[in-house]
């Protein structure tokens, strides 16, 4: 963004900033036009002429440079230029879809991938637009005919694709045959349905996916089958139904993603709780797996938080917190940490540690929550705040929000009794 600012300034003054004389010229122009001072040394450092300087430009410097090209501040420059780029890209992609035939669109997307220019953003906008237009067959063909090497993308990039595309399904009318078409394409299972775990739609389209694979005899890979089995059991939990053990110990776990391993463990724990069986063997098995792994510990624990909160299992919450060690290297881990803050809040309320509650509440930021889990996390955020606050107005506010979420999600487990008796 700073380079863009520099380029715009150079266009305005009609000369490149490469020498001390150029810096002094710009300094004088700024003083004449803005009546503000910016030394040539500051300009030299900002424009990267002083190569051995690692000092980042101050916000005040960037504000003055932005004002020189008629923006109120550097923040306003960033906002407008980001909007312009996104708006331009959106229009370009809409143009592709409207004027090109299917093969041309696929060739254009291949070109974007080869050039590696904002591929993930382009890809997401194209898919969302196709689904909004009801072009499921074209979306399916687009995946089959493009040269996409998803292994070269980071997990955060894949999560971005999964969340950005997956979030559209709860807002569109997808017929049964549309969902079946997508379920026959491994891309949509692995990178959309398995990454965007739509907890807000388990009573809708998302809760139908596994039954559709059975109805139409769609052959699933082992990890896909295990995932959908776990989701089916979790849906039953939310509907106050009994679930079967998933036989966690007998599952071959080496090829599975840590989050899926944690999901399977969490469902086994829930089944044990229903049947009055100790789940210590699961925690021991999981500890062995974690100790032998070089994967982030928090990935194994993520889904355990979902079940620990759902069951009000404070022992399991304590166990999870004792294992967690947050080193945030990718964006998704910051969102996972937010779920941990909710867990920590519940433990602090349970332990009547008001000081810790206040500290944790300051860390909770719903803008950072994982999109597909947002409503589910918000249910527990409301429960925690409802029980912690002593203010009648605040308590009623969280009660109303809880009731609204319960109606929207339509899971029988969440009712007034569940809210009132949570910490009893």
pLDDT at 93: 58
Q: How far is CA 379 from CA 15, 307, 385, 414, in A?
A: 57, 13, 10, 9
Q: What is the pLDDT of residues 70-90, one digit of tens each?
A: 888 888 777 666 555 555 555
- Residue 279's contacts (CB-CB under 8 Å, 6 or more residues apart) are 268, 269, 272, 273
pLDDT band of residue 57 (cuts 50, 70, 90) is: confident
pLDDT at 401: 97
Region 395-419 average pLDDT: 96
Region 136-142 average pLDDT: 90
Phi, psi for residue 352 in degrees, rounded to 5: 55, 40
Q: Mean pLDDT over all residues of the chain?
A: 88
Percent of all residues in the chain with a pLDDT value above 70, rounded to a whole number: 91
pLDDT at 272: 97
Q: What is the pLDDT of residues 207-231, one digit of tens each?
A: 999 999 999 999 999 999 999 999 9
Residue matched to tokens 């090497």: 149
Residue 380 C-alpha from the chain's centroid: 18
DSSP letter, residue 169: G
pLDDT at 403: 97
Round to whole Å and give the CA distance between 210 and 218. 10
pLDDT at 86: 53
Cβ(105)–Cβ(126) below 8 Å: yes
pLDDT at 344: 97
pLDDT at 357: 97
């Amino acid at each position: 963004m700073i380079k863009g600012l520099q380029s715009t300034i150079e266009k305005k003054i009609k000369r490149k900033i490469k020498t001390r004389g150029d810096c002094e010229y710009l300094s004088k122009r700024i003083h004449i036009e803005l009546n503000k001072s910016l030394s040539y040394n500051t300009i030299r450092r900002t424009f990267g002429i002083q190569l051995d300087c690692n000092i980042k430009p101050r916000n005040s410097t960037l504000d003055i440079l932005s004002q020189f090209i008629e923006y109120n501040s550097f923040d306003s420059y960033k906002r407008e230029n980001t909007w312009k780029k996104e708006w331009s890209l959106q229009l370009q992609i809409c143009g592709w879809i409207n004027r090109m035939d299917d093969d041309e669109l696929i060739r254009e997307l291949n070109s974007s991938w080869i050039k590696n220019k904002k591929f993930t953003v382009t890809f997401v906008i194209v898919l969302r637009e196709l689904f909004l237009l009801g072009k499921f067959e074209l979306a399916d063909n687009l995946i089959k005919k493009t040269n996409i090497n998803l292994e070269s993308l980071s997990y955060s990039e894949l999560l971005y694709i999964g969340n950005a595309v997956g979030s559209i399904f709860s807002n569109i009318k997808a017929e049964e045959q549309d969902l079946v078409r997508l379920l026959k394409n491994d891309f949509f299972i692995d990178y959309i349905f398995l990454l965007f775990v739509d907890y807000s739609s388990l009573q809708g389209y998302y809760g139908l996916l596994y039954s559709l694979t059975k109805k139409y005899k769609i052959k699933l890979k082992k990890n896909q089958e295990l995932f959908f089995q776990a989701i089916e059991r979790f849906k039953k939990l939310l509907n106050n139904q009994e679930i079967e053990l998933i036989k966690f110990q007998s599952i071959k776990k080496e090829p599975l993603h840590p989050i899926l391993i944690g999901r399977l463990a969490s469902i086994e724990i829930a089944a044990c709780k229903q049947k009055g069986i100790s789940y210590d063997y699961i925690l021991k098995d999981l500890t062995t797996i974690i100790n032998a792994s070089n994967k982030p510990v928090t990935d194994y624990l993520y889904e355990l938080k979902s079940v620990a909160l759902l069951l009000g299992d404070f022992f399991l919450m304590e166990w999870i917190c004792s294992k967690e060690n947050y080193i945030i290297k990718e964006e998704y881990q910051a969102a996972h940490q937010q779920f941990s803050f909710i867990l920590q809040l519940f433990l602090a309320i349970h332990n009547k540690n008001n000081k810790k509650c206040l500290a944790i509440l300051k860390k909770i930021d719903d803008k950072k929550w994982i999109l597909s889990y947002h409503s589910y996390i918000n249910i527990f955020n409301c429960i925690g705040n409802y029980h912690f606050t002593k203010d009648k107005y605040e308590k009623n506010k969280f009660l109303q929000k809880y009731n609204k979420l319960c109606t929207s999600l339509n899971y029988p487990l969440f009712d007034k009794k569940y809210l009132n008796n949570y910490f009893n």
